[in-house]
Amino acid sequence: MKANEAEQVKQQFQNGTDNFSEKDLDKVMADSEVAERKGGKLGEQFENFKLLWGLLKDYYNKDYPHAPWKLIAAIGFAVGYLISPVDVIPDLIPFAGFIDDASVFALVVKSFESEITDYKRWLKNK
């Protein structure tokens, strides 16, 4: 990914996370089939997608309600970005189309390491 594309993705991530709402969360969860299908195209970030998608579903279903909203907003934005046809790098471009989507999931993991570790611990103990 080019430097200007990486900066665009980072800016969209920040703005999207800051403006993510409960209504946006409902929309993302309503498109779960699309999210799961596209999640399989994230390459090295697929494992992170599965973990974060599980966290989002557990929050949404009230099984893991104590996740901070900022984390939920970041994951929700990442999933919404994944399922959106409008990206910095369009998904239709072979091989490159999901690079920006994958980088958004990497940003979530990097930004919320301790909260994600807490969720992993909760998963082990449930």
Question: How many Cβ atoms are within 10 Å of 114's Cβ, its own excluded?
Answer: 8
Share of the chain above pLDDT 70, in %: 86
DSSP symbol at 20 = -
pLDDT digits (tens, 9 = 90+) for 80-93: 998 886 554 555 44
Mean pLDDT score of the chain: 87
The model's pTM: 0.86
Buried-exposed string 1-11: b where 16+ CB fall within 10 A, e elsewhere: eeeebeebbee
Share of the chain above pLDDT 90, in %: 60
Structure confidence at residue 124 (pLDDT): 95
On whether the CB atoms of residues 73 and 20 are closer than 8 A, the answer is yes
Closest-CA residue to 82 (of 45, 50, 43, 34): 34
pLDDT digits (tens, 9 = 90+) for 20-67: 999 999 999 999 999 999 898 888 889 999 999 999 999 999 999 999
